Amino acid sequence: MADTGAMSSRERYRAQVRAEIKQQAWEQLAKAGVAALSLNAIAKHLGMTGPGLYRYFASRDELITELIRDAYRSLADTLRAAADSGADVARLAHVVREWAVSDPHRYFLIYGTPLPGYHAPADTTAISSEIMTTVIDAYAEATSDKAATPFEAHLESHRDWAGEHPASTATLRRFLAFWTRVHGVLSLELAGHFAGMGFDPAQLFDDEVADLLAR
């Protein structure tokens, strides 16, 4: 990637306009969700024509892909910084929650219901894998002394689904249970399903994480 300082004035202007388009897209998502994203509405807000906006993003899917990349990269970098500072897996789970609560629509863009007809390119999957690897590594370290159940021992001889990660299949299976529970509680909280129930969702999340790691 070219250094920003070496960019021409035209390139800087293009980068600035693309950033403004993405900012308007995020605001649309916050109001109505990704399904309502409208390039024409963004163009109108920015004082552009529809065809003019397509010079910066060739399609709605291209814009969505950029938003997804930005969201994944933000979370991946946030988790990596926390892990590098010594955060354990419990802390990393709370980092995910803090990141999500700060912008629920960004969270739902990457972990919510898939957009019908949209297929993200392979590089977004690669960034998602960075997130998983960071948390799996911390989880494996925290649970390395746990004995495998009979089912987990059986899985160990069928490792194809586990890829090349050095953690055992048993650890990966437990991690997936941990990861899905974390996202389940978080998704319900962000969707407002705990509203009016008289408890602190942050405390429920904390208890769920502690319970999962104690097993």
For residue range 93-102, what is the model confidence (pLDDT) as tens digits?
Answer: 999 999 999 9
- Choice between 53 and 151, residue whose per-residue pLDDT is larger: 53
* pLDDT of res. 161: 43
- On the question of pLDDT at 162 being above 50, the answer is no
Q: Residues 210, 212, 213, 214: is their CA dihedral positive or negative?
A: positive
- On the question of pLDDT at 156 being above 90, the answer is no
Helices assigned H by DSSP within 46-103: 50-53, 60-84, 89-102
* Residue 87 Cα to chain centre, angstroms: 18
- Choice between 12 and 152, residue whose per-residue pLDDT is larger: 12
Q: What is the mean pLDDT of residues 161-165?
A: 51
Distance CA 10, CA 74 (A): 27
Question: Could you read off the pLDDT of 116-154 as tens digits, one per residue?
Answer: 888 888 889 899 999 999 999 999 888 875 555 555 555
Q: What is the mean pLDDT of residues 188-204?
A: 95
Predicted TM-score of the model (pTM): 0.84
What CATH code would you report for 1-58? 1.10.10
Q: Which fold has domain 67-214?
A: Tetracycline Repressor; domain 2 (1.10.357)
* pLDDT of res. 159: 46
- Where along the chain do its domains lie? 1-58, 67-214
Which H, E and C letters describe the chain, residue by residue? Answer: CCCHHHCCHHHHHHHHHHHHHHHHHHHHHHHHCHHHCCHHHHHHHCCCCHHHHCCCCCCHHHHHHHHHHHHHHHHHHHHHHHHHCCCCHHHHHHHHHHHHHHCHHHHHHHHCCCCCCCCCCHHHHHHHHHHHHHHHHHHHHHCCCCCCCHHHHHHHCCHHHHCCCCCCHHHHHHHHHHHHHHHHHHHHHHCCCCCCCCCCHHHHHHHHHHHHHHC
Q: Round the average pLDDT of the chain to a whole number and report it.
A: 87
Q: pLDDT-based confidence at 191, cuts 50/70/90?
A: very high
* pLDDT of res. 143: 84
Question: Could you read off the pLDDT of 65-96 as tens digits, one per residue?
Answer: 999 999 999 999 999 999 999 999 999 999 99
- Choice between 17 and 8, residue whose per-residue pLDDT is larger: 17
* pLDDT of res. 215: 77
